[in-house]
Amino acid sequence: MIPTIEWDAKTRTVKLIDQTKLPGHLEYITASTHAEIGRIIKNMNIRGAPAIGVAAAFGMVLAAQENQNQNFEHFIKSMHQAANLLKNTRPTAINLFWAIKRMLKIIPAEKSDIEQITERLLEEALQMWQEDINCNKAIGKHGASLLSDNDVVLTHCNAGSLATVLYGTALAPIRWAIEEEKKKIEVIADETRPRLQGARLTAWELNYDKIPVKIETDNTAGLLMRKGLVQKIIVGADRIVSDAVFNKIGTYMLAIVAKYHNIPFYVAAPSSTLALEQKESDVIIEQRDGQFEVAKIMGIATKPIAPNGVECINFAFDATPMELVTAIITEDGVFSPKELLAHYL
């Protein structure tokens, strides 16, 4: 396991794994401005709600560094501009807004020393970085109690170490069960069209850490469940509202199919993903470029798979209603949908 994102104290820059190069090559990007962080989030060199949150926090640190020599008023204005730029990179990930809000709170309203504010912002970002790792390990520990020896666990997209700073959310219980509890667990990763994060990222990170993993096309999950080859499903979440879980497109179908087979369907996510004051109908689902992501398979296809002029529908996320969710695993424990509301509202 390698951290997805790190602060380089010497150069005061941010070092990130370039996830668009996986699974072929492990390469890093260094960012020294908040605009670079914005581009990196938008282009999905980094992705995964928790990782995006921490990246945005470091982006705010970089913005402060960029504005060291401004007067205080201009500094404040620049910081809010930076916050807006970062907020406009991805519309669905709640952690992004949460992280930026938390960073903005650090900045005092009354005139203060900019250098000191910058250091406080850095401390806060580093704390969020560490909190993410601690949080994921707690999710892992709570979630591992749901896994039995010899379970085959199906997951969708990548809610692994690469979606967080380290350790992952949906993959955390699997990691904990294997590493801390010595259970034998195998993983099946949905390839996860259109961006193929399951095949490219989940399979890569588990294989890198020698955890047994196989890839399937998303539409194979039903057959494997029917054959009794899947015992549990764990997915991550981009946003959890009072009545639904927003996660990568395809999660909803997987949850329906799990229910049909009486297979437990778990959602593992930090409590920062919770937006329980909202409901399913409040959330606008991001639609992305279907000609690029679907027809050209994100540029890796030598020829488009769709005929010229035919629209490719491309919703990035879907909503899974709580009636299909067996339990939600956060850093605070394992909760039924009802218990989740009672605990956090």
Catalytic residues: 238
- The pair of structure tokens assigned to 259 is 């229910």
d(CA 69, CA 189): 49
Looking at beta carbons only, is 107 or 235 nearer to its own copies? 235
Query: Applying CB under 8 A, which of residues 6, 124, 216, 331 lies at the interface with its own copies?
Result: 216
**Site for its own copies, residues 157 to 186, rule: CB under 8 A:** none
Half-sphere exposure of 325 (CA within 13 A, CB side): 31
Q: Does 223 bind its own copies (CB under 8 A)?
A: yes
d(CA 293, CA 94): 23
Give residue for tokens 């095949």.
199
In the chain, the amino acid numbered 236 is G
Cβ 31 to its own copies shortest distance, Å: 25
Cβ 157 to its own copies shortest distance, Å: 10
- The pair of structure tokens assigned to 2 is 């390698």
Q: Residue 122: which of 272, 271, 8, 270 has the closest Cα?
A: 8
Q: Does 303 bind its own copies (CB under 8 A)?
A: yes
**Site for its own copies, residues 309 to 338, rule: CB under 8 A:** 309-315, 318-319
- Bridge-partner residues for 189, per DSSP? 155, 215
Query: Applying CB under 8 A, which of residues 35, 275, 297, 341 lies at the interface with its own copies?
Result: 297
Give residue for tokens 């909503």.
319
Radius of gyration in angstroms for the set of CA atoms belonging to the chain, rounded to a whole number: 20
Query: Applying CB under 8 A, which of residues 18, 23, 231, 333 lies at the interface with its own copies?
Result: 23
Binding region for its own copies (CB under 8 A) out of 89-97, 140-148, 164-172, 301-309: 301-309
Query: Applying CB under 8 A, which of residues 121, 178, 215, 327 lies at the interface with its own copies?
Result: 215
**Site for its own copies, residues 89 to 118, rule: CB under 8 A:** none
d(CA 311, CA 287): 13
Cis peptide before 337 (omega within 30 of 0): no
Cβ 22 to its own copies shortest distance, Å: 8
- The pair of structure tokens assigned to 223 is 């057959």
Total binding residues for its own copies by CB under 8 A? 61
What binding mask, one character per residue, do residues 230-259 give for its own copies by CB under 8 A, x or -? -------------------xx-xxx-xx-x
Query: Applying CB under 8 A, which of residues 295, 322, 329, 340 lies at the interface with its own copies?
Result: 295
Looking at beta carbons only, is 140 or 250 nearer to its own copies? 250
d(CA 182, CA 190): 25
Cβ 221 to its own copies shortest distance, Å: 7
Q: 3-state DSSP call for residue 291?
A: helix
Query: Applying CB under 8 A, which of residues 78, 304, 333, 344 lies at the interface with its own copies?
Result: 304
Q: 3-state DSSP call for residue 129?
A: helix
Alpha carbon of 333 to those of 175, 235, 297, 340: distances in Å? 17, 16, 38, 10
- CA-based angle 127:133:134, to the nearest 5? 85
Binding region for its own copies (CB under 8 A) out of 97-105, 167-175, 217-225, 235-243: 217-225
Q: Does 192 bind its own copies (CB under 8 A)?
A: yes
Q: 3-state DSSP call for residue 13?
A: strand
Point out which residues bind its own copies (CB under 8 A): 22-24, 188, 190-194, 196, 199-200, 203-204, 207-208, 213-224, 226, 249-250, 252-254, 256-257, 259-260, 285, 290, 294-295, 297, 300-315, 318-319
